[in-house]
Amino acid sequence: MVDSINWSKTPLLPVITQDSTSLKVLMLAYVNSEALNLSLQSGVVHYFSRSKNRIWKKGEESGNIQILKEVYIDCDNDAVLFKVEQNGAACHSGNVSCFYKKIDFDGNIDLSKAKNTPLPYNTIDKLYHILQDRKTESKDTSYTASLYAKGENTIGKKIVEEASEFAFAIKDNKDDQIIYECADLMYHTLVGLSYKDISPDRVMQELNKRFAKSGLEEKAQRKG
């Protein structure tokens, strides 16, 4: 699971640290690859201090160490949850949790003023996240994982192959075959995006930009 993290893209991951018994959120910190591996190997939580610019063991001065109980990685492999046994206070202020400053909020919401603009979790988004999950699967049991293991050359060749089959299906003028081959092409294109950790939403944003200009204008700008 740890191997699925792209440290070159996100050298520091945010960590939410939670008491394993009370489930109280204790703190937010960061880990790099070394800090995470030290925590897993020693069972004592280590973080990366951005202010000190070094690895630090929680409680190295105060003695209020954190014993690691469980570790979770989020669905995008770019955030971590530690569940710990906290010795003493987690916060340098002496409070149990670093989150002890409460902002006054009465909980009253005027729903008539609330914007209701739900974004659909569409098939493309759903498939992309499934493909991201396949990075932790065995190449012997997952076709997608086997493509990742073979690397960008194989992935690129599959995209070219599927694009050709899609083009020939259009030429043959058979609707069912066109749909089938287009689905294959879209799948392998998403594998390529996932391999590079590029969300398809960024492609949608690029397409949205092009609504304001003609295709000829856009191509001319790229050539320039």
Higher pLDDT, 65 or 8: 65
The sign of the dihedral angle between the CA atoms of 217, 202, 196, 139 is negative
Q: Does residue 120 carry a pLDDT above 70?
A: no
Residue 131: what pLDDT?
93
Give domain limits for the chain.
2-86, 123-223
pTM: 0.68
Task: Mention every residue, 6+ apart, whose C-beta is less than 8 A from residue 97.
Answer: 24, 25, 26, 27, 90, 91
- pLDDT classification of 215: cutoffs 50, 70, 90: low
R_g of the chain, CA atoms, integer Å: 24
CATH fold of 2-86: Ubiquitin-like (UB roll) (3.10.20)
CA distance linking residue 12 with residue 47, whole number of Å: 10
Longest dimension (CA), the chain: 73
Quote the mean pLDDT of the chain.
89
pLDDT tops 90 at residue 64: yes
Q: Identify the pLDDT of residue 91.
A: 92
pLDDT band at residue 218 using 50, 70 and 90 as cut-offs: low
User: What mean pLDDT comes out for the span 44-60?
Assistant: 93
Q: Which CATH number fits domain 123-223: 1.10.10.10, 1.10.287.1080, 1.10.287.1120, 3.40.50.1820?
A: 1.10.287.1080
Q: Kindly tell me if the per-residue pLDDT of 224 is higher than 60.
A: no
pLDDT tens for 171-189 read 999 999 999 999 999 999 9
Check if the beta carbon of residue 66 is closer than 8 Å to that of residue 83.
no
- For residue 178, give every residue at least 6 positions away whose Cβ sits within 8 Å of its Cβ, in sequence order, or none: 166, 169, 170
Helices (H) and strands (E) in the chain, counts: 7, 6
Task: Return the top range by mean pLDDT from 113-122, 123-132, 160-169.
Answer: 160-169
- Taking the C-alpha atoms of residue 7 and residue 31, their distance in angstroms, rounded to an integer, is 10
